[in-house]
A = this chain, B = another copy of it.
Amino acid sequence: MSIQTRRERERAERERLIVTAARELAEAEGWDAVTTRRLAAEIEYSQPVLYSHFKGKDAIMAAVAVQGCADLAEELRTARTAAKGVREALAAVGTAYTAFGRRRPALYDAMFTHAVDLPFATPEAPEPLKAAFGELLQAVEPIANEGDDPGLLTETYWAGLHGLVTLMRSGRLPENAHEDRLALLIGHFTAG
């Protein structure tokens, strides 16, 4: 029993090592640099070891994405709780969200851009995903007009933020006017 648990503990630790190495490598050099060979070298094991933990590279990215959602949720929470009013909270959360996307592009891509086999808008979604969405929801809920579904409104607000981040990051929207666009988006959501 003790030996068994020690092994399981070591395995879990190595799994965390893989996910952390993948995230750090992706954040440092982009996901293109995260090859299974490179990742294996980074953790000082051979390639097949990765496949004893994860089904494939996509599953590793999914694990990184889940971890990233926890980070995002925390940052959103901090921003939201520090804001004074409901309008300020919505703005703070929006600013924190887009800042996260710009500061950690590779992580953001794993979370919200890359095609990934994760249940999102369902009860089976991993806890960190629901937590991140929940932070948005708590910021949006107070400014929802009666009759509006807060969940749907949050999804729509999220889509706006996501669009801003991705279009800007791919060079389709100029970076310098980001603050103005964000203000416009927030303004149109708080005005309603």
Contacts and interface: CB of A to CB of B under 8 A. Distances in A.
A161 interface: yes
A131 to B, nearest CB: 15
B192 A153 contact: no
Interface string A79-116: 00000000000000000000000000000000011011
Majority SS at the chain A contact face: helix
Contacts of A180: 149, 152
Interface size bracket, A side = 35 or more
Interface stretch (A48-56, A70-78, A163-171): A163-171
Contacts of A170: 112-113, 115-116
Contacts of A191: 188, 191-192
Given A161-B163, A163-B159, A184 B112 contact: no
Contact of A121 (B172, B187, B189): B172
Of all A-B residue pairs in the complex, the 10 with the closest CB atoms, nearest first, are A159-B163, A163-B163, A162-B163, A160-B160, A120-B172, A159-B164, A156-B184, A156-B181, A188-B188, A121-B174
20 contacts: A112-B167, A113-B113, A116-B170, A121-B171, A152-B177, A152-B181, A153-B184, A155-B167, A156-B164, A156-B188, A158-B163, A158-B167, A159-B160, A159-B173, A159-B181, A163-B164, A163-B166, A188-B189, A188-B191, A191-B191
Interface of A: 112-113, 115-116, 120-121, 148-149, 152-153, 155-156, 158-164, 166-167, 170-174, 177, 180-181, 184-185, 187-189, 191-192
